Amino acid sequence: MTFQTLCVLCGLCGKRIPQKERLWKNCTIVLRPSRANYLTFGGVFDLAGKEKEIARLEKEAARPDFWDDPEAAQQTMQRLATLQEEIKPWISLEQRMADALELAELEDEGLAEELTAEAENLEKQLGRLEFRLLLSGPYNRGSAFLALHAGAGGTDAQDFAEMLLRMYLRWAESRGYRAEVVDRLPGEEAGIKRATIAISGPYAYGYLRAERGVHRLVRLSPF
């Protein structure tokens, strides 16, 4: 069988980028790629560069006259907090990779199942972090308001609008977001004419920004 303890994909091209391979009995062990390969994504996410900027900002914040300009100091501290939050999951991922590599070096067949599961988890986590890179716009980290309007179509359109409202509320709940219906106008027979949802949570706007335009439903009318 082929057993991969660490098989990480490049975030841009999808190629597998092992640093070295070794044969362990009947298993092919794909060991950790270099830090530069899986933590830069071709320059899209430059961990080393962000760490250098953090060090520079921390040094700047330690100056005795740092708070002489409160507005500039506040901007610096906000930028520092943002950078620290951005690199935290990548540092955690790197540590988990290092731990898995150490286990692989033991060449213990009893660890095969555990390492396989960890390799799959690492690849999933890397995929999630890669997706986060696509949400790097200035507003993507924020919360969002989502407005629904039934439009033309009478009672059927209003019923469909309520179906969409329930769908978005359940989606928000599944992601751990807080969702509140801040405006709702019921339909005359069924459904809603309009509704507005406030969805609070990290990257809510980034996930929802493409939810625009017209949703269509084709069905035999129950009304």
pLDDT, position 25: 36
The verdict on 149 and 181 lying in the same domain is: yes
Of 81, 102, 133, the one marking the end of a domain is 133
Q: Mean of the per-residue pLDDT values for the chain? A: 78
The verdict on 80 and 55 lying in the same domain is: yes
Helices (H) and strands (E) in the chain, counts: 6, 5
Is residue 61 predicted with pLDDT exceeding 90? yes
User: H or E stretch including 151?
Assistant: none
Domain that holds residue 195: 144-208
Count how many domains the chain has.
2
- Answer yes or no: are the C-beta atoms of 33 and 7 closer than 8 Å: no
CATH number (domain holding residue 167): 3.30.70.1660
**Average pLDDT estimate for 140-158:** 90
**Average pLDDT estimate for 188-199:** 93
pLDDT, position 45: 65
Cβ-Cβ contacts under 8 Å for 208 (sequence gap 6 or more):
144, 146, 199
The verdict on 59 and 114 lying in the same domain is: yes
pLDDT, position 30: 42
pLDDT, position 31: 40
Domain annotation covers residue 117: yes
- Answer yes or no: are the C-beta atoms of 60 and 73 closer than 8 Å: no
The verdict on 28 and 110 lying in the same domain is: yes
Domain annotation covers residue 84: yes
Nearest to 97 by CA among 139, 35, 153, 49: 35
The verdict on 167 and 73 lying in the same domain is: no
How far apart CA 85 and CA 189 sit, in angstroms, is: 48
The verdict on 202 and 120 lying in the same domain is: no
The verdict on 28 and 96 lying in the same domain is: yes
CATH number (domain holding residue 78): 1.20.58
How far apart CA 83 and CA 116 sit, in angstroms, is: 32
Q: Could you count the other beta carbons within 10 Å of the beta carbon of residue 6? A: 23
Nearest to 183 by CA among 173, 197, 170: 197
